[in-house]
A = this chain, B = another copy of it.
């Protein structure tokens, strides 16, 4: 029996979804090099049993945090264009992120109309701060989808560090979101608080909880740690200590990511909240990229695949 495609897995809130996420190459990259990167990426992912691929849409978030960004911001290729032009050999569905504030309403509507809902899913991301001037707001983007392309499966981001995030999730659900993808998780306790609040609020409202996909990301260096912090990821002190003192922070964080995955899997199974994982790589170092691929395989094994 073949496993159903990602849209159906999410529509039926089946647990155990496994995704991998990538950031498209920088815009300044030469065409030949982009082709090469895409090929290497597809080759690396071909050995993994994934339900889909996430393509991020990177926004300049310098407004989010007055502190200098640890890694400089560089504009990246449009994720939908990168997918169409260079990843057409990818056999599974893709989830295209959209930082909606970057786009005019027409651009968003056109893209949604053209997307094949069997192969493409969307995730709308709102502006990183309230003061930012946007071309399309999150609420408006959700309305556009409802009007022009309700068939397109829509996801939303979830940030465990925010208070009352479970109420925000339910509001997004009311406006069409049918699954959630978390920010990078390093703090299992905060995440369990969120899952718990969400679960009991769904129960009180007699609403079916939607799949939450937890993002795991290795942290192979203090620079990466600093970057995660800058993004607002809450890293527990004991883990920071470990990464700071370890001769091999990559191995340390590998162990921790697997522990997180096991813990969240068990917790969601116990409560009965549909869940999945997204394995992400934020580094460009070869050792970290390879370790991330191994991590995805280990998480697949945790999910019984």
Contact = CB atoms under 8 A, between A and B. Distances in A.
A241 B189 contact: no
Interface stretch (A109-117, A173-181, A194-202, A206-214): A194-202
Nearest to A240: B196
A195 B242 CA distance: 11
A255 B271 CA distance: 13
Interface string A229-273: 000000011100110010000000001000000000000001000
A241 B187 contact: no
How many of these chains are in the complex?
2
Contact of A193 (B203, B238, B245, B270): B238
A200 B241 contact: yes
A303 interface: no
A261 to B, nearest CB: 14
A149 interface: no
A242 B189 contact: no
A192 interface: yes
Instruction: Determine which residue in A237, A255, A270 has the highest number of CB atoms from chain B within 10 A of its CB, and name it.
Output: A237
A188 interface: yes
- Would you call the interface of chain A mostly helix, strand, loop, or mixed? helix
Nearest to A252: B270
Nearest to A238: B196
Interface string A75-86: 000000000000
A242 to B, nearest CB: 7
Nearest to A188: B189
A255 B263 CA distance: 13
A242 B270 CA distance: 11
A165 to B, nearest CB: 12
Interface in A136-154: none
A237 B200 contact: no
A196 B236 CA distance: 11
B245 A189 contact: no
Interface string A268-280: 0010000000000
A51 B237 CA distance: 32
Contacts of A236: 189, 192-193
A241 B197 contact: yes
Contacts of A188: 189
A143 B196 CA distance: 48
A237 B187 contact: no
Contacts of A200: 241, 245
Contacts of A189: 187-189, 236, 238
A196 B270 CA distance: 29
Interface of A: 187-189, 192-193, 195-197, 199-200, 203, 236-238, 241-242, 245, 255, 270
Given A189-B236, A195-B238, A255-B270, 10 more contacts: A187-B189, A189-B238, A192-B236, A192-B238, A193-B238, A196-B238, A197-B238, A197-B241, A199-B241, A200-B241
